[in-house]
Structure 1
Amino acid sequence: MSLVTFGETALRFSPPDGQRFETARNVGLRADGAASTVAATASRLGGDAVWFSKLPDTPLGRRVVAELHEHGLETDVVWADPEDGRQGLTFHEAAAAPREDRLLQDRGDTAMGTLRPGELPMGQIQEADVVFTAGSTAALSETAADTTGALLRAAGGIRALDLDFHPGLWSAEEAHDTLSDLFDAVDLLFANEEQAKAVFDRTGRPRELVHTIAADYDFSRVVLTRSEHGVVAYHDNVLHEQDAIETGPPVDDARQHDVLVGAVLQQLIDGAPTDEALANGSAAAALARTMPGPLTPIEPAEVERLVAANTDRGR
């Protein structure tokens, strides 16, 4: 039972303690990508997961893989000549209200933007139980978008896509136009509520939104995350809802959505029903908020304990 993910993982620079880059003297450095975070989460929770990508054969590209290996994630990387593509970078400033977090993208001309289907082991993609990628990969270039579509169409199992929409990469209209061409090859769509409203140009309550998106694009499942308000899903004409699990002030909530996705996919691969998968995803996301960095050392026993405690409170 396996999960294959593919996509770009950038290096994320972050100043400490709410500082801004213009005054910070020190910054932290972390690997940061939707596909790798999803795979790493599923792997930590006991799944058989592998992350495919294309990176420049440089110290920065090797830095990404080294960090992913620290988390026990299996990787399969196409190494590119540095002249053919660079390492993507992001710059993240965490802020407390009334300031807002800021994410700056520096991901033009990256190696992942040149990836073609023939460079990846298609046999593994065809045999995987779930193949996952994110819209941010398709945003890198026309070549990346075409490759994303080809890999999803080649997948033999569940084909999952996360909108992963970032205005610093493309506009909502560009994202919708490009991703719409891929939706026929997607069974399961994940999205953050605000990103879904922007890309699909929709308003309305979450229950209405997941139903409308599923009906309009013929997705078998739609999972909509709502940060501190929990998660809503639509599957087989049934709505499913899961409240968020309360935590203290978040240490780092930048990748809680991706951690939830990884936990949900691992549960679905194991044959769990939708409600159980969402409960585990919500618990994993809560734990992710309590630790710094996109890649968090979540332990299966912690997730199980939170799910059980939350279930007991709901009775």
Structure 2
Amino acid sequence: MSLLIPPAARDALQAWLTHLRVIDGAAEATLRAYGADVTGWLAFLAGHLGESYGLKTLAGVPHADLRAWMAHERGRGLGARSLARALSAVRQFTGWLAEREGLDATAVLSARGPKFRRKLPRPLAESDARAMIATVAEDAAEDWIRARDEAVVTLLYGCGLRISEALGLPATAHPLPEVLRITGKGGKERLVPVLPAARAAVARYAALCPFDLTAGALFRGARGGALNPRLVARVMERARTVLGLPATATPHAMRHSFATHLLNAGGDLRAIQELLGHASLSTTQVYTAVDAARLMEVYARAHPRA
């Protein structure tokens, strides 16, 4: 598909992705997603315009061509959420190109994406989150693996870490300090307080771990390599079956639970944003919707309609 794209547009895309990587510190997953989205857009234009377009044409694409592209994407099965992300990538790329080349990209930059309902996080109840931590360790054959699994899930819930952040901790992070410096998405750093229970859980694991923890990853697999996140997901799958919890009780749900329970306890939304490492407050505000949705569920059960 990239062979259809004019060389100037292809070079501009690569320059933009390099800018995102080097200047903005974008994560590799983000770069791959944006690269695929914009490549699809550029290839569509090559077929739609039927000519080898230049950068001025690319920046000045009218609304009609944007609508044709979006209709094409929906026609091949792209959902509203994915299309909105693709349009966001196209707008960002076009805005960068227009600024670099001194071009007018008003039509593209003012384009609106499809509306979609944002999925609400599915946190666990506080009792279920505690039960999950206690249950994940039950199936392990060895004491150190039981301690490891409990320590990982405790960090997810107690510190609101992403699974990649917890498993990315180096061995030198032990013993855990009272405040961890975490590097999250896009290389963004944040400071996260560590509860005594989390420090104690990691200390128990480190004391039992049969591998050298002076270098490498803190959390190890059975053969000594870095622990695979899929193994944590499997342990939680077994635990949620035992506990009768829904399929939404995943490692990421522990992070959602951390944020929701803090909010329920009166936590400040800005502070929770910082703890989670969200770039935008609007991302964190989804937890207020979760709180309101739960309140309505309780209300509906207490006051059923006749």
User: Which TM-score band (shorter chain)?
Assistant: under 0.3
- Pick the structure with more helix per residue: 2
The alignment's TM-score, normalised by the length of structure 1, stands at 0.24
TM-score scaled by length of structure 2: 0.25
